[in-house]
Each structure stands twice: as C-alpha cells, then as structure tokens.
Amino acid sequence: MKKLLVTGLLALAMAGCGGEDTPPKNEVAVDKASFTGKWALAVDSGLIGCDNNAVYIKANDGNTYALNGTAQKRIKQMGLNWLPVDRDSSVWLDDPNNKGAKIDVSDMIAVGLKLCEGN
C-alpha cells in the first residue's frame, strides 16, 4: 500500500514539472524581432514576468533585470540577485534620436503589468 501511495505522489509531482519550454503563467517569452513596441534592452530575448507588480525580465544573457521601481525595491528588500535597469545600467540602450536619453522601457513594463492583472 505504501509503495502505491509513494508511486502516486511521485507521479503527481512529476506532472507539475513538465513543459519546461512553457513559461509560468506570470511570465511571457519575448524577443526583440517580434516585440510590439519599443525594445529598450541590449539583450535579444527573455521572459518578462510580474510578481506583485514587480516587473522583471529573465534575459537570454543569464541575468534577471528589474524593469520597474517596484522590482528595483525588491532587490534591496529581499536581497534578490537581479540587476536594476537604471541610468548606470549598460543593458539599457541609449535613445539614438535623443542624445543623453535612454529608450523608453514603458512598453516592456506594460507587458509585465498585464501579467499581474491576470493573477
């Protein structure tokens, strides 16, 4: 009986682990080539996600970047190993049409915030 119970629990646990290519429902795969809106980062793709209004991108360079102020506060509050997207960040692209400015990141943030609305 114990063996049957353990086997059943193991099968349930494994069922939740499938679909590694499918992002969690609070994340969406994005890439520079097909993104609708302004792509503001020096990475080509990643997963934009939202957790309690903290918007981030798990980028294809292996880093997770905090895209909005809420996410940047989380870095400090929770000791997350995320990098801020701020004026000193080399991942945030300069705006070629506006010397001294960065490309507006709000389109990317909006994608993440829509994910939080669904939770």
Instruction: For residue range 48-72, list pLDDT tens digits in order.
Output: 999 999 999 999 999 999 999 999 9
- Indicate if the pLDDT at residue 81 is higher than 90: yes
**H or E segment and range at residue 69:** helix 69-78
Answer whether 102's CB lies under 8 Å from 93's CB.
yes
What whole-number distance in Å separates Cα of residue 46 and Cα of residue 31?
A: 6
Q: Report strand pairing: 45-51 vs 27-31.
A: antiparallel
Identify the CA nearest to 49 among candidates 21, 23, 76.
23
Kindly list the domain boundaries of the chain, sorted by start residue: 35-117
- Indicate if the pLDDT at residue 24 is higher than 80: no
Answer whether 30's CB lies under 8 Å from 45's CB.
yes
Q: What is the pTM of this model?
A: 0.79
